Amino acid sequence: MSDIRFSGVTRVFQRDGREFPTLAGIDLAVADREFVAIVGPSGCGKTTCLRMAAGLEFPTTGTVAVGGRIVESPGPERAVVFQQFALFPWKSVWDNIDFGLKCKGEPGAGRRARIEQIIGVMGLQGYESAFPHQLSGGMQQRVAIARAYVLEPDVLLMDEPFGALDAQTRTVMQEELVRLARVNPRTVLFITHAVDEAVYLADRVVVMTRRPGAIREIVDVASVRRAERWDRHERIEDVMDQESFVHLRTHIWRLLREQQARNDH
């Protein structure tokens, strides 16, 4: 059981002796093997939520727990995919993927098989000995996802992972992520700016208010996806063409626009 539970989480930044609240009380439970996306205006603290689940930042009050244990430090059971990839430039593709397993102390033979498998799944065959700077952005992000997935983490934390990619690569990566999630479902917390992406990928979409961030609404996508049989469609554009998809997307857009309007006044 590897759920994520935010309980009464607030976060206050201190700067020049003044206090800036960035998160105003988040209560959210991501179930085991559920895919939850968070969308919200810039600076609403959605990335802070993810970083707190990762153990890279900590709440001012409240708790974040993964699998029932309060998060106190970063660890391989909570794998992060960063927006800017954060690959090790001095390690080959293979060694980047291998590093986390090596740190866990896994024996060599088992590591080899798992790395080969994930390289196959992510379409990285032939690039094993390449260095990150020799790869395109899309390929680098594949490596970063492979590096996280190979650890078979309890939860996968993805911080705008496709934000730095061009539109076409982004679409391909979104489809691959869905494929990967079908083969090997994980608990996923996914931060994004893109409403389309959130609706396409997630079981539930959390819409946040502007700073200090709070939850405006949680939109259930999974029940619509099941009822409308979105998985009949292989391609992302066909899913996005469904009336039910457009309806959900518009609903989330309106919630976000409402935040924008508040911002303008």
Partner 1 sequence: MQPGHSAAIGVATVVLALALWALFTTAIPWIDTARFPAPADVWAALTQITVQGYADARLWRHVAQSSVLVLTGFATACTVGVALGLAMGWSRRAEALLNPVFLLLRPIPPLAWIPLAIVWLGLGDAAKVLVIFMAAFVPAVINTYTGVRAMEPQIVEASSMLGARGPRFVREVLVPAAAPHIFTGLRLSLQASWTTLVAAELVGALYGLGQVLNNAAQDIYPGMILVGMVFVGLCGGLMTAVLGWVERRAMPWRAA
Residues that bind partner 1 (CB under 8 A): 54, 56, 73-76, 78-80, 82, 84, 86-91, 99-100, 102-104, 131, 133, 147, 151
State the minimum distance, in angstroms, from the CB of residue 179 to partner 1: 24
**Residue 158: what residue type?**
M
133 Cβ contact list (under 8 Å, min separation 6) = 89
State the minimum distance, in angstroms, from the CB of residue 30 to partner 1: 18
- The whole-angstrom separation of Cα 210 and Cα 162 is 22
Q: Return phi, psi of residue 143, to 5°.
A: -65, -40
Dihedral over alpha carbons 97, 86, 84, 181 (to 10 degrees): 30
Which helix or strand (DSSP H or E) is residue 183 part of?
Answer: helix 167-183
- The whole-angstrom separation of Cα 140 and Cα 143 is 5
DSSP at 31 = P
State the minimum distance, in angstroms, from the CB of residue 225 to partner 1: 30
State the minimum distance, in angstroms, from the CB of residue 85 to partner 1: 8
**177: three-class secondary structure by DSSP:** helix
State the minimum distance, in angstroms, from the CB of residue 170 to partner 1: 20
Q: Which residue's CB is nearer to partner 1, number 135 or number 198?
A: 135
20 Cβ contact list (under 8 Å, min separation 6) = 12, 13, 14
The structure tokens listed for 256 are: 């976000």
Q: Which residue's CB is nearer to partner 1, number 20 or number 88?
A: 88
Q: Which residue's CB is nearer to partner 1, number 102 or number 254?
A: 102
Q: Which residue's CB is nearer to partner 1, number 15 or number 133?
A: 133
State the minimum distance, in angstroms, from the CB of residue 76 to partner 1: 5
Q: Which residue's CB is nearer to partner 1, number 136 or number 260?
A: 136
Q: Which residue's CB is nearer to partner 1, number 85 or number 245?
A: 85
- The whole-angstrom separation of Cα 96 and Cα 146 is 9
